[in-house]
Amino acid sequence: MTNTLLILPGDGIGPEVMAEVHRIIDWYGTKRDLKFDVTEDLVGGAAYDAHGKPLSDATMAKAQEVDAVLLGAVGGPQYDKLDFSLKPERGLLRLRKEMDLFANLRPAQCFDALADFSSLKRDVVSGLDIMIVRELTSGIYFGEPRGIIEEGGQRVGLNTQRYTEAEIDRVARSAFELARKRGNKVCSMEKANVMESGILWREVVQKVHDESYPDVELSHMYADAGGMQLCRWPKQFDVILTDNLFGDLLSDVAAMLTGSLGMLPSASLGAPMENGRPKAMYEPVHGSAPDIAGQGKANPIACILSFAMALRYSFDEGAEATRLEKAVEKVLADGVRTADLMGAEGGTPVSTSRMGDAILAAL
């Protein structure tokens, strides 16, 4: 079976960090005989500059065909004034929606060497390892009707939160499956005390649990209390299951807690394709960081670890994924640091490509 990859570096620091992933991919091809058929294309502001759209139909079609998409980051201040439908984010959202990548896996992991970067106390975060499973193709991100409408002489901003039973069911299964391979605990978060969509969410998650995953420990929490508990004692969680909008906020909070923001990858998975592999896109949790773009300062680790997730979830190469993750840990333990990882101790930061060098050497 060939391994096909579509690489979309995107905007800002996207191309820089992705350059290091290219080198890792090459290493696997020559040193481990694990070969990838790689195509590269445009997304976000870069695609808008070239084609007047944040994602061309041709790129969309390619994304549907490959085993996995690797995305860098999208966005930049030069695109702020664009019409909503042309903004860089719409390219990303189109990929998620049309590939039907309903399960967004966001590990929030605290790297021991970096625990002191957290604004939280060391004992609250050291060793933290939670997985947020965020629904990614429905909810208020995509619900209709939406828009800015005219009503009684004034404008009204409108969005719709919609969840069908089937949409909740499938993402709940993803969370329970993952939990079985981890700490066997799922905490589902919504606002069932305020929103009917939350009531249905809670009910369906409970039903999926009772019928198919009674062995997994399930709890429910209101999303506001969930945000509190994440800040108070995040280690109480194993897998957190939540909807698209709450997942956006809660996963960002969780990521920041770890102190390892420049380190965190994500996977967005859909249904299995004909070859048995899931539709999949991988991307770092961090953004395009336009302020440091093009200066060789960016930390490529989140993007490299996103490729490790691709090895694990798309290419069934769990052992190779672990090898890559271990290489990253070693480099950190050795004290190699990009600028974002410089603490009070001081020292000289390495560039994006020197970090790539170090990881390749550790491999």
Catalytic residues: 141, 191, 224, 248, 252
**Interhelix angle 301-313/352-362, nearest 10 degrees:** 40
Is 24 marked as binding a ligand? no
β-bridge partners, 68? 5
Indicate the helix (H) or strand (E) that contains 186. strand 185-190
Q: Quick one: 287 or 349, whose CB is closer to ligand IPM?
A: 287
**DSSP-assigned letters across all residues of 248-296:** HHHHHHHHHHHT-GGG-EEEEEEEE-TTSPEEEEEEESS---GGGTTTT
Preceding peptide of 145 cis, ω within 30°: yes
Confirm or reject binding of residue 248 to ligand IPM (CB under 6 A). yes
294 is in an annotated binding site: yes
Is 185 annotated as belonging to a binding site?
no
Stretch of residues binding a second copy (CB under 8 A), selected from 64-72, 152-160, 323-331, 345-353: 152-160
Interacting span for ligand IPM (CB under 6 A) from 15-23, 32-40, 87-95, 320-328: 87-95
Stretch that binds ligand IPM, among 85-93, 148-156, 273-281, 299-307 (CB under 6 A): 85-93
Provide the angle, in degrees to the nearest 10, between the axes of the packed helices 318-333 and 301-313: 160
Regarding 164 and contact with a second copy (CB under 8 A), the answer is: yes
Contact between 177 and ligand IPM (CB under 6 A)? no
Selected from 33, 52, 81, 157, the binder of a second copy by CB under 8 A is 157
Helix, strand or coil for residue 7? strand
Residue 295, marked binder: yes
Quick note: the x/- pattern for a second copy over 82-121, rule CB under 8 A, is --x--x-x---x-------------------------xxx
Considering only residues 186 through 205, tell me which ones interact with ligand IPM, judged by CB under 6 A: 193-194
Which among 201, 231, 290, 218 is positioned nearest to 108, based on CA atoms?
A: 231
Residue 89 assigned to a binding site = yes
Residue 274: CB atoms within 10 A of its CB come to 5
Give the C-alpha separation, 120 to 131, whole Å.
19
Which residues are at the interface with a second copy (CB under 8 A)? Answer: 75, 84, 87, 89, 93, 119-121, 124, 140-141, 146-148, 151, 154-166, 168, 191, 193-201, 223-225, 227-233, 245-246, 248-253, 255-257, 261
